[in-house]
Structure 1
Amino acid sequence: MNKFYNNFLKANSLLEGRVSIYLDFLRGLAAILVLMEHLGSRLFLGYGYLQNPTAIIKLLYLLNLLGGPSVIVFFVLSGLFISRSVLKSIMDNKWSWKTYLVNRLSRLYVVLIPALCLTVIADKLASHFFDYNRYIDNYSNIKEFVGNLFYLQNIYVGSYGSNGPLWSLSYEFWYYMLFPAIILLLRNQKKILKVVYLFIALAIILLIGQRMSYYFLIWLVGMLVLLLPATSRVKNKFTMTASLLLVCLAMFMRPLVNNGRLFVDHDTNNLFIVDLFIGLSLGLLIYIFMQGTAKETKPESKNKWFEKTSKLIASFSFSLYLIHYPIINVVYYWAAKNGFKGLQPNLLSVLIEILLVAFMCTIAFMFSRITEVRTNVVRAGIMNILEKLSYNDQKAKVTKMENNLFK
């Protein structure tokens, strides 16, 4: 255990260095790739409608199918940062469910609630004016909204309205709950607490089902990176480049498997294997970059533009992920009602896609200024309210004891 503890301390310190810039860039890029896949599916003609597509057009279609692999990137990064937070607080004897839940829920809800409201507005516009019909009745609408609010999509309800990307939030949320329960179960403590945490962990696993439980293994790859020993053997450009190419290979494999082009039998087990390959290769890349940038610090960074760009796109990545599809959906149905059937892939249409991606990023940036960047303010406000309630509760108990004493 001491060995893992020392490995964790080293990894924790490395994450404060220059590698955090690369991870910010990776997070922002993953959100943009998800946007590109969903935008490309509405903007361009389907692959089957093209005649004699060139190698460049095939590559373009492949680039617009990297949204799925990018969600796996989010899982690994989430596992890295959330497990880091949990392990650090437990090792420092500062673990608190109250603090943890406030941190996690404020991070999610400060963007999720406005995003759900935006989805309602966008879907209503598309339904009333542009022939979009997502719901069977109002009951289904309300049921999905509430279910997504409590992260029950993929379990009891579907993703709310047109906002398909919400599916991954239920994965994330239940992993947030499952991981600390497992870690606390393994810690030395009273048997009754072990039983409680065992019950919680099993209840969550039964709730989320087999598929979501499998993908928890990919999420745990992020934690694995924190426990690996430090090494100096990977501090060279060749190793970094090779690991980056491995991640790219894994990500390009996924759409080929998903479309049945890489394997004859289209099986979801094949897809999970590829997703696990993406997760493991990304974990390796993060580990190598952590070790390779061990002596680099952010203040000495020469590429200030890269650091600023990474921080910028990371700052609105969550907002971009949650709001892009309802906007794309309503615009698509408006365009379709006015005769739009899709663009042929060429230089002009690619430029149009780039401009639309930039426009969507601008919208997400503005949205994030009133949501995502306010997370710490909301978090501090909630903690302040809880502390006041706790203080008033303790004060009331003391007053009651004093009254009973002097009766």
Structure 2
Amino acid sequence: MIMKLPVKKSLSFLDGLRGLAALYVATGHARWLLWEGGDNFKQLSHTYSTPEKMLAIGMSVFKYGHEMVLFFFVLSGFVIHLRYSLQLSKGEQAPFSFGSYFFKRLKRIMPPYLFVFALTFICDSIVAHNQYSIYTHTTPLPLVNQNIVFVHSWSSLIGNIFFLQDAYVPVFGSNGSIWSLKYEWYFYMLYPVLLFFNRKSPWFTLIGLGGIFLIYLMGFHTGFVLFDQVVACLLSWWVGGFAADIYNGRVQIKRYFLYPLAVIIPLIPLIHTSGINNLLKDQIVAFGFTGLLVLLLDYRDKGIVQSFGKLKWLGDCSYTLYLIHAPLLILANGILLKETNNVMPRSFVYVWLAVIGVVIIAYGLHFIVEKPFVSAAKRVPLKQPDVMPAMVK
């Protein structure tokens, strides 16, 4: 017998999970920018004490920020479709107003997003004015020198405002973390199309997107860069929407068949280093997070799951945290290397201090740039959580 799960049950634990995911991303970037790095550790590991070695190895768990983006995609697809899925499961029409939907998404995303362009420009200007080594590409970290750029052209700014980064314009300034906002925004814009087909059949929508994914996996491209980038990854977002249909009973399957997909999560280090196609890697990880999401939803009343709800405060500021952490950490890198004569520390103290600092700043800022633009309905304990991705490349 398949039970229909009531959506009115508290889903506040999802807020805590997205907060932890944003914290993971920020910690991964702090580790990258404020520690001497894995290559140096491998060469000098004999000079580390046993506790230092254990800590360095343990901190390597934060290497997989890109994969964490897939968690946010899955969770976002679940959240966006949850309300309409519930209405459809009850046999209701689930009326959809694109205008209302569009402006709600716009109001949710744009205020913090526009703010971060100003913050990025200010942080980058300080870095440039002081000619910090991260600006002149002379840090002791080759990957930092290769990947951190400072583009502040008007074309880049305007292109980023319209979510065209990494398609037609570079990411604005040093804030490479905003690359995936492009995907999130256009996933939102394609949702009405998905909902149209989903009304007729959840399975048809999923299988159709699976077919499109396979076509792209075989190398097909239309030549429209933005379209190809977004549509090729759409399945990784929509499996979250399909999870919402499972949660609300529209898809009648035995959910425990999906639990084994969660085993993919601890295999991420192997998937990350494998030679398989990057698009396929991302989709495999998205399936893993879908299995984990279904598992957590089925056991949402258990104390260990609900305990994540205590971190709702972190989830509330997770979008702001994800937006602001990169330029602040890059500025911290510049200041630190200036003080150490361009020598990276082997201690993780600076990593932890920086993470605590950006969390405090994000929590304060979210009351200014984020919370005032979220409707009162979104401030009550979650029935339909509002999820934004913490992005890292």
Tell me the distance in 2 between the aligned counterparts of 1:370 and 1:320.
13
Q: Give the number of the structure with larger relative contact order, counting CA–CA contacts within 8 Å between residues 6 or more apart.
A: 2
Equivalent residue for 1:163, pick from 161, 167, 175: 175
Tell me the distance in 1 between the aligned counterparts of 2:198 and 2:28.
41
Query: CA 1:80–1:224 in structure 2 vs 1: closer, same or farther (change >3 Å)?
Result: same
CA apart distance, 1:314: 0.5
CA apart distance, 1:100: 0.1
Instruction: Answer whether contact 2:35 2:351 (CA < 8 A) is retained.
Output: no
Provide the residue aligned with 2:234 in structure 1.
216
Query: CA 1:172–1:250 in structure 2 vs 1: closer, same or farther (change >3 Å)?
Result: farther
Alignment of 1:84 onto 2:85:
no
Tell me the distance in 1 between the aligned counterparts of 2:80 and 2:223.
19
Provide the residue aligned with 2:162 in structure 1.
150
CA apart distance, 1:366: 0.5
CA apart distance, 1:274: 2.4
CA apart distance, 1:29: 1.1
**Residue identity opposite 1:107 in structure 2:** R
Name the stretch that deviates more: 89-98 or 152-161. Answer: 89-98
Structure number with bigger Rg: 1
- Helix, strand or coil for the counterpart of 1:130? coil
Tell me the distance in 2 between the aligned counterparts of 1:253 and 1:21.
32
Residues 103-133 of structure 1, C-alpha deviations (whole Å, 9 max, x = no match): 1111111210111111111111111123426
Equivalent residue for 1:283, pick from 290, 311, 315: 290
Alignment of 1:44 onto 2:44:
no
Tell me the distance in 1 between the aligned counterparts of 2:128 and 2:21.
30
- Give TM-score, length-normalised by structure 1: 0.71
Instruction: Answer whether contact 1:250 1:281 (CA < 8 A) is retained.
Output: no
CA RMSD between the two structures? 3.3
- Helix, strand or coil for the counterpart of 2:114? helix
**Residue identity opposite 1:47 in structure 2:** G
Provide the residue aligned with 2:203 in structure 1.
none
Gapped runs of 5+ residues in structure 2?
Answer: 137-148, 201-221, 379-393
CA apart distance, 1:68: 1.2
Count residues with an aligned counterpart: 327
Query: CA 1:125–1:218 in structure 2 vs 1: closer, same or farther (change >3 Å)?
Result: same
CA apart distance, 1:285: 1.3
Provide the residue aligned with 1:360 in structure 2.
358
Query: CA 1:58–1:275 in structure 2 vs 1: closer, same or farther (change >3 Å)?
Result: farther
Which has the larger helix fraction?
Answer: 1
Provide the residue aligned with 1:30 in structure 2.
21
Instruction: Answer whether contact 2:296 2:305 (CA < 8 A) is retained.
Output: no
Alignment of 1:248 onto 2:265:
yes
- Helix, strand or coil for the counterpart of 2:165? coil
Query: CA 1:378–1:205 in structure 2 vs 1: closer, same or farther (change >3 Å)?
Result: farther
Provide the residue aligned with 2:386 in structure 1.
none
Instruction: Answer whether contact 1:107 1:375 (CA < 8 A) is retained.
Output: yes
- Helix, strand or coil for the counterpart of 2:374? helix
Provide the residue aligned with 2:98 in structure 1.
97
Tell me the distance in 2 between the aligned counterparts of 1:373 and 1:316.
9
CA apart distance, 1:52: 5.6
Query: CA 1:83–1:361 in structure 2 vs 1: closer, same or farther (change >3 Å)?
Result: same
Gapped runs of 5+ residues in structure 1?
Answer: 1-5, 189-203, 381-407
Tell me the distance in 2 between the aligned counterparts of 1:157 and 1:171.
15
Tell me the distance in 2 between the aligned counterparts of 1:364 and 1:78.
21
- Give TM-score, length-normalised by structure 2: 0.73
Percentage of pairs with the same residue: 25
Residues 184-229 of structure 1, C-alpha deviations (whole Å, 9 max, x = no match): 36768xxxxxxxxxxxxxxx99452434322111101101112234
Alignment of 1:334 onto 2:351:
no
What is the 5 A alignment of 1:182-201?
Answer: 182-184=194-196
Equivalent residue for 2:367, pick from 347, 366, 369: 369
CA apart distance, 1:372: 1.8
Alignment of 1:292 onto 2:309:
no
